[in-house]
Amino acid sequence: DEGERPGSPRRGRRSRTERAHEHRPTRERGAARPGVARDRGRRRETMPFYQAVIAFKPYARPKDLTRFFKGVGQYLEQRQGVLRGIENHGVRGVAHKFVAPQRTEGEPRAHDEVRYVSAYLDLSTRYSQDFMRELQKNDDVLRLTVLKPKKAPMDRVRHRRHTLPFFGEDVSGPPSSS
């Protein structure tokens, strides 16, 4: 039997990989792979919806956060992604301290309060790991979690009452006359 020792426990059996390749269904020529849509003969990748929950230092300046999210938008635009919305959850206490990767002059390294911000975006799966690495390069980012919700909650995001992150002004509708 093909060079195997007599009494070998694998004699006459194939490995799991060999069996999987043997029974793999074949696609027709030009058929799309799972997760990849076709449009007029060109491959077009699907863009899953993600929610990135980012924990910033509590005293990150508004100007720095604006610059950060403009950079996120440009990054997504270069990769045909879409930044659907940003939601500020405010400064909140945490159960255990979040430690910054590097010490910044005049700031403590461990933080017991953080500013939570959610970013809702569409991004190709090809760039998701690169996207996370890009976000973590910022000095103000303490922790990052990227979630893929089962259903895109954009209706709730659009119609919820929103306030500007640092001034508490209501921007959900026309100004009321009082």
Q: What is the pLDDT of residues 134-150, one digit of tens each?
A: 888 888 888 898 888 77
48/165: higher pLDDT? 48
Angle at 162 between CA 93 and CA 156, to 5 degrees: 100
pLDDT digits (tens, 9 = 90+) for 97-146: 888 877 677 777 888 899 999 999 888 888 888 888 888 888 888 889 88
**Which phi and psi (to 5°) does residue 17 adopt?**
-65, -45
pLDDT at 71 over 80: yes
Partnered with residue 115 across adjacent β-strands are: 56, 91
Fold of the domain built from segment(s) 44-152: Alpha-Beta Plaits (3.30.70)
Instruction: Judge whether 12 and 81 are in contact, CB under 8 Å.
Output: no
Partnered with residue 18 across adjacent β-strands are: none
Model confidence, pTM:
0.58
**Separation in Å, CA 147 to CA 83, 119, 120, 132:** 15, 10, 10, 11
Alpha carbons 139 and 142: distance in angstroms, whole number: 8
User: Where exactly are the structural domains of the chain?
Assistant: 44-152
Instruction: Judge whether 55 and 141 are in contact, CB under 8 Å.
Output: yes
At 69, is the pLDDT very low, low, confident or very high (cuts 50, 70, 90)? very high
Query: Which residue type is seen at 149?
Result: P
What's the confidence (pLDDT) of residue 160? 46
Instruction: Judge whether 98 and 110 are in contact, CB under 8 Å.
Output: yes
Torsion of CA 119, 124, 129, 132, to 10 degrees: -20
